[in-house]
Structure 1
Amino acid sequence: MIQNATLLLVEDNADDVALMLRALRKHNVANQILVARDGVEALDLLFPAEAKNNAAPQNLPHLVLLDLKLPKVDGLEVLRQIRSHPTTRSIPVVILTTSDEEKDLLAGYDYGANSYVRKPVDFIEFTEAVRQLGIYWFMLNRLPPRGE
C-alpha cells in the first residue's frame, strides 16, 4: 500500500464531487484528496507556476480521477498535457465519466488513459466502484518510483 497516497479528483459536478469524496473517505482510499473543478484548475495543481519554469512540480498526486466533460479545458486536453510532461507522464489517470460514447473511450486510451470507468448511477454501485478503484490503484498496482 502507498503511504501518504494523494489523489487528484477532477470533476465539475458538485453532487459527483460530494459522492466521490464520501465514498473515498468511507473506504480510506487516499490520505489526501485534491479536487479540481475544471481543467484549468487541474493543470494549475499539476503544473504550478514555479513548475512552468522547468522546475519539477512538487506534491504530485499518485492517481488522477478525471472527468471528460469539464469547463474551460476538457478532460482529454488535461490528459494530453499530463502525458506530455516528463514529471507527470507516469501518473496513472483513470477516466471516470458518465460518457458511454465509443469515441470518448477510444480518445481516452489514445491520449494515454490507464483506465476508463463509466460512473454508475446508483450510489451503492458508485461507492463500490470507488472502493475497487482504490484497492487496485493504491494496494495492488505497483506504481513507478517518484522523486519526492
Structure 2
Amino acid sequence: MADDSEDDRFLAREALRESRVLNDLHEVEDGEALMNYLKGHGEYSDPASAPRPGFILLDLNMPRKTGREALEEIKADSSLRRIPVVILTTSEDEIDVIQSYDLGVSSFITKPVSFEALVEVMKTIGRYWIEIVSLPSSDSD
C-alpha cells in the first residue's frame, strides 16, 4: 500500500484485519518509496522484507512522486506492469478516473468515509484480488 496518510494506512490495516484478509500488508509513504520498494533499492533490497506484491493499493495524491506518476512508471516497466494496481483515493474527480484507466490501473475506488464501509471495501478487494482472480506468478516475467 502506498499512501502518504499515516491515518489512512492505519485504517486500511485495521480494516484488513477486521475483514480477515490474512495476507501481509507492506506500506510505503509515497510514490518514490513505492518505486524503491518494487525495484528493491535502498532499505528495500532484502526480498524477504520487501517481497513482490500480489497487487498494489495506490493513493493518487502523495508527495515526492504522485500515485499517477508511480502508476505510469509501473506500467512502463516490463518487470512490474503485470502487478495489478488498485487506486484507493479520496478523489471523486472524473478526470482522475479517466487518467488512471488510461495509464493501466486495474480498479479505481474512492475511499469510503466510514470505517465500516472501508472494512467492506477491504473485504471485497481481498476476496477479489486474493481469492478469486488468477494472477501471473512473479517468475513469469
Q: Decide which structure has greater helix share.
A: 2
AA in 2 matched with 1:114: S
**Structure 2 gap segments, 5+ residues each:** 43-49
Which of 53, 67, 78 is the matching residue for 1:86?
78
- TM superposition score normalised by structure 1: 0.85
AA in 2 matched with 1:62: G
Q: Residue 141 in 1 paired to residue 133 in 2?
A: yes
**Structure 1 gap segments, 5+ residues each:** 1-8, 51-57
Partner of 1:99: 91
Residues matched between the structures, number: 133
Instruction: Tell me the percent identity.
Output: 36
Partner of 2:29: 37
Extract structure 1 runs of 4+ deviating beyond 6 A: none
RMSD, matched Cα: 1.6
Q: Decide which structure has greater strand share.
A: 1
Q: Residue 123 in 1 paired to residue 102 in 2?
A: no
SS at match of 2:26: strand
Distance 2:88 2:58 in 1: 6
- TM superposition score normalised by structure 2: 0.89
Using the TM superposition, give the Cα deviation of residue 30 of structure 1 relative to its aligned residue in structure 2, in angstroms. Answer: 4.2
Partner of 2:102: 110
Q: Residue 18 in 1 paired to residue 10 in 2?
A: yes
SS at match of 1:10: coil
SS at match of 1:70: coil
Using the TM superposition, give the Cα deviation of residue 144 of structure 1 relative to its aligned residue in structure 2, in angstroms. Answer: 1.4
